[in-house]
């Protein structure tokens, strides 16, 4: 949509000198206030009357802010809300990534109609994530199809732009989209770590950015906002906002990496999306990870942020998660910012790190955006399923003797890095399991299917196409060989036999707090089922037949609390390890939920070694 | 014979086939599928000076007629790679010449030979101490 006239009155603002200043920009980097305690906000927009709309995703709802009052959540019938834009009549166009359509919504939450359907034809989407309204057209980041879809606001298809790839006019996971003042399409091309600019007809005009953390480089940009003569980008994994000129010259970068979770007050943490007020004097940064929206005003040249930029406590601050695998000795965790797999020996009194596998960039074996990892002790193979590069990397480890652990950066050796059959959309795979005969099961959420691969990673079957709606995790039951599939779309847990036939379905609506945003799934040796839910910040334990046994956790950052728990595993001593992703740590419990340990890449706490103040532990 | 390292099999094949290599380093890929031979000029590899490499890649003793090669290096203990992108040219079946290699600091390096064949990258690697 056309952005309001703004910022021109601010051009006299002094230069902000922290990063790069190619010219005197007007800045909106002064922290003013925030809304916290939201439920995973993903997008926001101002309406023309200055009211502010926040879209929450867990559970799905919208809030209307008429400053300073904020409405209670208004429930909306949306499976996985994503991007938002506002039409000229102040109606909302909200992407429902889970249902593969755009919901046209009145500001009271009433859905007026839906636009688009699931697929890859004209006017169809596969897990779209953002929309820009421009005149009577919608420009949609059709993320799962790696393209841009243009439609009329009546839903009539106009054109599709781009294919999957790294060339000009191609995309890998386009997450954000906007139209600039020169009528150009601007796209946050996340897995290419760049911004692409195209004409409204889809002709590539310019692009900039590549992976990295230096100013001007990008790590999985998630949104773009075009404001007059500048382009603002949420540089998500660099935890900052960067401003560029229309041709890609870096003007300013701010927000920077948070020293610790919950820091806020101008420090941003996994920024998802941006919005600007009608008068152009307030910028909103939406941070789903922090359940928060921060508001920024015009730059204050006299303000100096005296807070430290390095961790206040000793030890490596690692983002730690969100995916994990383990056997009776080794635990492997994906560290997204560093693009590293961290390998721990978890059988020591406190887990110790044996090595880290770093492999950056798009060269052979380079890591992108991991979806799953699998450690096979007998074969001495670590498989990393990489959505970003659509590759599967296989490493062997030169593990030390158990009684003589040592840290060795050279411990891992890349064996192979391979593309899968074109029939397997590796870039849409979100989880993987290895079957007893040595084959593979790969979960594709966007199409709700499980791809069955043989030991050579060749496709042999597909399961669940008529069963699954919005699956989010799979795991194998070691006792039965059954595959368990956690499905947010049907709020249930499906049990499939070794031929993929459904044998049971367990409804999960009755869980305490409901099933809101499930993220992890594991099975203990006795058949009990563990589920982590980032929406309720809880871990649930069920008997193998689905009877609820116990739940523990609440939102917070002291021990036994979680902030968006993610991967979950159970070791051979029935200890439950939960990746407490939002607190940058892992916590260990017994099956009843009794806290045993908290640990990260450079620290560990046990009941006999609690920090003096739990909140200091961060 | 089944337990014999591929590099030994390759050496036997070279001798029996009358095809020899003058390259003084020999290693197997990490998945034991390919054999890589290489030498550098100058040798040993100097610190902070450009050097060139000649590389041969064989499978079961036969030089590859297809596929491609990428050569890179890193210092895993320091978590960085080279600060130059090498220039790699194929000079014949299974043979490549590499220019613009630079180990810009002393210490423990790892040389990576990534053999790209039919959509799969197979890595061979060798630890090099430079001082």
pLDDT in tens, A453-491: 999 999 999 999 999 999 999 999 999 999 999 999 999
**Residue B108 in contact with partner chain A when CB distance is under 8 A:** yes
Domain containing residue A337: CATH number:
2.40.10
Q: How far is B100 from chain A (nearest CA, A)?
A: 17
Q: Is the pLDDT assigned to residue A19 strictly greater than 50? A: no
Contact residues for B4 (Cβ-Cβ < 8 A; gap 6+): none
Chain centroid, CA A143 distance in Å = 13
Residues of B in contact with A343 (CB under 8 A): none
**Residue B100 in contact with partner chain A when CB distance is under 8 A:** no
Show the domain range for A170.
8-297
Q: What is the pLDDT of residue A7?
A: 35
Say if residue A410 is preceded by a cis peptide, omega within 30 of 0.
no
Contact residues for A573 (Cβ-Cβ < 8 A; gap 6+): none
Q: Is the pLDDT assigned to residue B6 strictly greater than 90? A: no
Indicate whether A99 belongs to any domain: yes
Contact residues for A153 (Cβ-Cβ < 8 A; gap 6+): A87, A93, A104, A115, A133, A136, A137, A138
Q: What average pLDDT score do residues A14-28 get?
A: 47
Strands A60-66 and A52-57: antiparallel
Q: What is the pLDDT of residue A108?
A: 83
Tell which B residues from 24 to 63 touch A, by Cβ distance under 8 Å: 29-31
Q: What is the pLDDT of residue A307?
A: 72
Last residue of a domain, one of A265, A297, A329: A297
Place of tokens 């070794």: A498
Residues of A in contact with B73 (CB under 8 A): none
Last residue of a domain, one of A419, A454, A477: A419
What DSSP letter does each residue of A382-434 carry, written as one string?
EEEEETTTTEEEEEEE-PPPTTS----TT-EEEEEEEEPPTTS-GGGEEEEEE
Q: What is the pLDDT of residue A332?
A: 96
pLDDT per residue as tens digits for the range B34-77: 999 999 999 999 999 999 999 999 999 999 999 999 999 999 98
Q: Is the pLDDT assigned to residue A18 strictly greater than 60? A: no
Q: What average pLDDT score do residues A113-134 get?
A: 97
For A564, phi and psi rounded to 5 degrees? Answer: 55, 65
Statement to judge: residues A135 and A257 lie in one domain: yes
Indicate whether A491 belongs to any domain: no
The kind and range of the H/E element at A24 are: none
pLDDT per residue as tens digits for the range A226-245: 998 999 999 999 999 999 99
Q: What is the pLDDT of residue A259?
A: 65
Statement to judge: residues A365 and A217 lie in one domain: no
Indicate whether A192 belongs to any domain: yes
* Contact assignment for A413 to B114 by CB distance below 8 Å: no
pLDDT band per the 50, 70, 90 thresholds, residue B12 = low
Counting every residue written for chain A, the total comes to: 618
pLDDT per residue as tens digits for the range A40-85: 999 999 999 999 999 999 999 999 998 888 888 899 999 999 999 9
CA-wise closest residue to A559 among A590, A594, A516: A594
- Give the whole-angstrom CA distance, residue A285 versus residue A3: 16
Q: How far is B18 from chain A (nearest CA, A)?
A: 30
Indicate whether A362 belongs to any domain: yes
Indicate whether A144 belongs to any domain: yes
Indicate whether A612 belongs to any domain: no
Which carries the bigger pLDDT value, residue A485 or residue A608? A485
Indicate whether A599 belongs to any domain: no
CB-defined contacts A:B, below 8 A: 52
Q: Is the pLDDT assigned to residue A303 strictly greater than 90? A: no
Statement to judge: residues A243 and A367 lie in one domain: no
Domain count, chain A: 2
Q: What average pLDDT score do residues A304-318 get?
A: 57
Say if residues A359 and A339 touch (Cβ distance below 8 Å).
yes
Least confident of A149-153, A169-173, A327-331, A460-464: A327-331
pLDDT per residue as tens digits for the range A548-575: 999 999 999 888 999 999 999 999 999 9
* Contact assignment for B121 to A417 by CB distance below 8 Å: yes
* Contact assignment for A410 to B77 by CB distance below 8 Å: yes
Statement to judge: residues A173 and A217 lie in one domain: yes
Q: Which domains occur in chain B, in start order?
A: 6-130 (2.60.40.1930)
For A289, phi and psi rounded to 5 degrees? Answer: -60, -35
Q: Where are the alpha helices (DSSP H) in A212-307?
A: none
What is the three-class DSSP state of B22?
Answer: coil
Q: What is the pLDDT of residue A95?
A: 98
């Amino acid at each position: 949509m056309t952005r309001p006239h703004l910022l021109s009155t601010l051009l006299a603002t002094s230069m902000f000198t922290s990063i790069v200043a190619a010219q005197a920009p007007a800045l909106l980097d002064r922290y003013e206030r925030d809304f916290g305690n939201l439920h995973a906000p993903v997008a926001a927009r101002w309406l023309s009357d200055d009211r502010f709309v926040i879209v929450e995703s867990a559970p799905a709802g919208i809030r209307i802010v008429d400053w300073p009052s904020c409405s209670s959540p208004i429930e909306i019938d949306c499976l996985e809300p994503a991007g938002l834009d506002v039409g000229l009549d102040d109606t909302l166009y909200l992407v429902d990534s889970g249902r593969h359509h755009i919901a046209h919504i009145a500001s009271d939450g009433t859905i007026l109609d839906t636009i688009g359907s699931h697929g890859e034809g004209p006017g169809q989407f596969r897990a779209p994530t953002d929309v820009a309204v421009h005149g009577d057209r919608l420009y949609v980041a059709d993320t799962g199809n790696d393209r841009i879809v243009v439609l009329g606001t009546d839903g009539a298809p106009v054109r599709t732009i781009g294919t999957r790839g790294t060339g000009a006019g191609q995309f890998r996971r386009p997450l954000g989209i906007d139209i600039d003042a020169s009528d150009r399409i601007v796209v946050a091309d996340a897995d290419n770590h760049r911004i692409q600019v195209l004409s409204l007809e889809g002709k590539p005009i310019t692009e900039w950015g590549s992976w990295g953390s230096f100013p001007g480089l990008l790590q999985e940009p998630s949104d773009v906002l075009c404001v007059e003569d500048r382009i603002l980008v949420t540089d998500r994994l660099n935890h900052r906002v960067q401003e560029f000129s229309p041709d890609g010259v870096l003007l300013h970068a701010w927000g920077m990496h948070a020293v610790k979770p919950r820091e806020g007050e101008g420090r941003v943490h996994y920024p998802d999306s941006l919005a600007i007020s009608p008068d152009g004097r307030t910028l909103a940064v939406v941070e789903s990870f922090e359940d928060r929206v921060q508001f920024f005003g015009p730059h204050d040249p006299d303000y100096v942020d005296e807070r430290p930029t390095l961790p206040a406590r000793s030890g490596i601050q690692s983002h730690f998660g969100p995916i994990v695998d383990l056997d009776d000795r080794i635990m492997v965790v994906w560290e997204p910012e560093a693009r590293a797999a961290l390998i721990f020996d978890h059988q020591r009194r406190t887990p110790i790190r044996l090595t880290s596998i770093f492999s950056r960039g798009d060269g052979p074996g380079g890591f992108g955006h991991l979806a799953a990892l699998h450690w096979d002790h007998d074969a001495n193979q670590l498989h990393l399923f990489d959505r970003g590069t659509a590759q599967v990397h296989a490493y062997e480890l030169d593990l030390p003797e158990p009684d003589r652990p040592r840290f060795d950066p050279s411990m891992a050796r890349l064996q192979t890095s391979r593309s899968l059959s074109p029939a397997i959309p590796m870039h849409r795979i979100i989880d993987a399991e290895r079957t007893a005969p040595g084959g593979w099961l790969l979960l594709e959420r966007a199409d709700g299917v499980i791809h069955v691969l043989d030991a050579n990673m060749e496709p042999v079957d597909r399961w669940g196409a008529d069963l699954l709606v919005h699956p989010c995790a799979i795991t194998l039951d070691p006792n039965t060989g059954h595959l368990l599939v956690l499905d947010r779309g049907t709020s249930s847990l499906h049990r499939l036999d070794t031929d993929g036939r459904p044998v049971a379905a367990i409804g999960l609506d009755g869980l305490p707090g409901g099933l809101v945003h499930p993220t992890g799934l594991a099975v203990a040796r006795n058949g009990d089922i563990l589920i982590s839910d980032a929406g309720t910040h809880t871990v649930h334990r069920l008997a193998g037949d689905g009877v609820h046994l116990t739940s523990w956790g609440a939102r917070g950052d002291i021990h036994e609390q979680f902030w968006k728990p993610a991967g979950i595993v159970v070791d051979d001593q029935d200890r439950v390890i939960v990746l407490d992703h939002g607190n940058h740590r892992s916590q260990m419990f017994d099956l009843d939920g009794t806290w045993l340990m908290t640990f990260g890449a450079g620290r560990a706490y046990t009941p006999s070694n609690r920090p003096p103040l739990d909140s200091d532990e961060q | 014979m089944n337990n014999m390292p591929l590099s030994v099999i390759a050496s036997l094949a070279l001798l029996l086939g009358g095809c020899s290599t003058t390259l003084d380093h020999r290693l197997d890929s990490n998945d034991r599928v390919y054999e890589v031979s290489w030498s550098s000029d100058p040798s040993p590899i100097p610190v902070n000076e450009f050097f060139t490499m000649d590389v041969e890649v064989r499978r079961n003793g036969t030089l590859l007629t297809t596929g491609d090669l990428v050569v890179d290096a890193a210092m895993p203990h320091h978590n960085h790679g080279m600060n130059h992108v090498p220039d790699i040219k194929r000079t014949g079946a299974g043979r490549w010449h590499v220019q613009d290699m630079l180990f810009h600091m002393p210490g423990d390096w790892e040389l990576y030979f990534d053999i790209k064949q039919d959509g799969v990258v197979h890595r061979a690697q060798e630890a090099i101490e430079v001082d």
